[in-house]
Structure 1
Amino acid sequence: MIAHDRSSPASARPRRTAILGQGYVGLLLAIRAADADHRVVGFDTDDIRVKRLWAAQSPSPDIPGNQVAAALANGTHTPTANADDLAGFDVPASWDRCRTIMQAALHPMDGQ
């Protein structure tokens, strides 16, 4: 699930994006969104997974630890298990909107 910060205008860059779940799929989305100039809050209920992400240890063979480390170092990815870090985000009203957001994050230059 992806949510956007309701306090930021749509045209503002960088956008704040929350991605719920930092496993195989969620982390891939988080890193791709971070690569597209989003400031990502990556939420997961697994404290151990979050600690491993802060140590740049990826749970996915498709996302090297150096990509996680780069996103951490430049502040574009913030893994957390603290639900309070999700304050200020709206969850998209429908899965169609969620799919559009995910596609934009994965392919930020398509159509431009």
Structure 2
Amino acid sequence: MKSAIVKGVLVAFVTAIIVSAAGVSYADDTLNGMGNKLRRGIVNAASGWVELPKGIYDESKAHDPATGLIWGSIKGSGLTVLRTGGGAYDTGTFLFPVPKDYKPVMEPETLF
């Protein structure tokens, strides 16, 4: 009888340790995810404008300077809005795990 009680207490103790360790690990992952999302949001909101000259440069390299200036401006302007908006979204929602597990809304995560 006494050994059954000791075994029960031991099982409960080991289970409590395992469960609490998993909780600490989850909390650490959550805080890291929130911090990364906030950092990513601030960087993207502040540097989204860099997509405009980057678009011009990329299209000029891929084609010719005239195409780069025209099509790159259009493409860069669109990406500027997306990157800046994505940064504002990440900054505003960094407390919540959306998208799933704090994944980035754009690839690459940041320009830098």
Query: Do the structures match in fold with TM over 0.5?
Result: no
Bigger CA radius of gyration: 2
- Which TM-score band applies after superposition, normalised by the shorter structure? under 0.3
Higher helix share: 2
Q: Which TM-score applies when normalising by structure 2?
A: 0.24
Higher strand share: 1
